[in-house]
Amino acid sequence: MSPIRVALVDDQALFRAGVRMLVESQPDLEVVGEAGDGVAAFALAARSRPDVILMDVRMPLQDGIHATERILADADEDGRRAPRIVVLTTFDLDENAARAIRAGASGFVLKDADPEFLLAAIRTVHQGNQVIAASATRELFAHVGRGNGRRPAPVAWGELTPREREIFGLAARGLSNAEIATSEFLSEATVKTHVSRILAKLALRDRVQLVVFAYEHELPD
């Protein structure tokens, strides 16, 4: 199998160098290019066609959020497979990370994450799944009740059944289908069906967006 093609986008050359060394130490991964700002990232994506882009949020000229939007829109217009984008951030699920996920990123990883977690994140998103920083769900629920400017629950929230709201809460805390099935005495297939219905009712793309939805809204029981 061909190695996963990875592009690095960060305005700190030293950080890029460290990540490059880590990625290139893996036989199934290769770095196909680097960029130091969002404008250069767009050109790099069009030129090198990476499978996965590690994208910093805060950069000069154009930030990672707008670069993500442009890169995904360009791929869509050309009718080609879009790269998977993993946002790199210093802070747990801050507004910029949430905006990047809404823009189409497949998840985010903290810059101080363990090397093994970053490598696993690359492979995970390349397979079509999502990834979220391990401590993000703790940060998410630490915000509950703090008057964080969170919005009222949308009308769609009322369409969820009590059972679906239970499953939503567990999924938002980062539990896998298997873990939810064990805690709720359900089969994994049943949990998967519940999660699919929840995502459809709330018009969410995946579990990462589900976590962001929980972060952004004041959800009644």
Please write the tens of the pLDDT for every residue from 59-71.
Answer: 888 888 889 989 9
Asked if 165 contacts 195 with a C-beta cutoff of 8 angstroms, the reply is: no
Instruction: Please tell me the predicted confidence (pLDDT) of residue 146.
Output: 44
Q: Is 158 exposed, middle or buried (0-12, 13-18, 19+ CB in 10 A)?
A: exposed
Instruction: Please tell me the predicted confidence (pLDDT) of residue 88.
Output: 86
Average pLDDT over residues 82-90: 87
Q: Is the pLDDT of residue 136 over 70?
A: no
Q: Is the pLDDT of residue 145 over 50?
A: no
Which three-class secondary structure string do you get for the chain? CCCEEEEEECCCHHHHHHHHHHHHCCCCEEEEEEECCHHHHHHHHHHHCCCEEEEECCCCCCCHHHHHHHHHHHHHHHCCCCCEEEEEECCCCCHHHHHHHHCCCCEEEECCCCHHHHHHHHHHHHCCCCEECCCHHHHHHHCCCCCCCCEECCHHHHHCCHHHHHHHHHHHCCCCHHHHHHHHCCCHHHHHHHHHHHHHHCCCCCHHHHHHHHHHEECCC
Q: Is the pLDDT of residue 212 over 90?
A: no
Average pLDDT over residues 131-143: 54
CA 61, CA 37: separation in Å to the nearest integer? Answer: 6
Instruction: Please tell me the predicted confidence (pLDDT) of residue 93.
Output: 54
Mean per-residue pLDDT of the chain? 83
Torsion of CA 68, 72, 74, 80, to 10 degrees: 150
Residue 35 pLDDT class (50, 70, 90 cuts): very high
Q: Which amino acid is at 49?
A: R
Instruction: Please tell me the predicted confidence (pLDDT) of residue 180.
Output: 87
Tokens of 20: 């490059």
Q: Is the pLDDT of residue 140 over 80?
A: no
Please write the tens of the pLDDT for every residue from 92-122.
Answer: 555 666 677 777 888 778 888 888 888 988 9
Among the residue ranges 27-36, 135-144, 180-189, the one predicted with the least confidence is 135-144
| Phi and psi torsions of 137, nearest 5° | -70, -30
Q: Is the pLDDT of residue 134 over 60?
A: no
